[in-house]
Structure 1
Amino acid sequence: MRDDLGLNFGFVDKVIHMEWLEAEPARLLELKEGDPAICIEDDAFLTNGKLFNASRNLYHNKYAKFYAMASMR
């Protein structure tokens, strides 16, 4: 995308929180409506500040595992 479209990726904001499931997400995660789940909302921005991509992902509260790496440059 950098080469073909000339996009310059800047940064991603991640918000991680718990929320209580509605019926359909609960069914998909094999949980009950009202159970807690981990939600990660990602907003990816270009270097000019424009939003490039947004996502919202729900994870099973008992089986989720996350890894984070940070560059110290």
Structure 2
Amino acid sequence: MGIISWVSKTSKGVMDGTSMACPAVAGLIARLLSATPELLSAERNQQRSDDIIKMANSHAVPIGFGPEYEGAGLIDQNQGQG
């Protein structure tokens, strides 16, 4: 999968890799976090960080490449919802 990004001051191109995946995953986690008020308002400490990772992993669905290549899987933002 490619992400359209600026490759110079005047042109865009298709890029991939962790530098492109990180903002997408951060956005998905923010969306999940916004639907979890008790976690969103929790004290900002190690426990909250651990709980956010646990929440993200609970929404991850393996896609068939194994943990070495996909970690916990692809975050499914709709998992567990109506």
User: Do they fold alike, i.e. is TM over 0.5?
Assistant: no
Structure in which a larger fraction of residues adopt strand:
1
Instruction: Name the TM tier (shorter chain).
Output: under 0.3
Structure in which a larger fraction of residues adopt helix:
2
Q: Which has the higher contact order (CA 8 A, sep 6+)?
A: 1
Return the TM-score normalized by structure 1: 0.23
Return the TM-score normalized by structure 2: 0.22
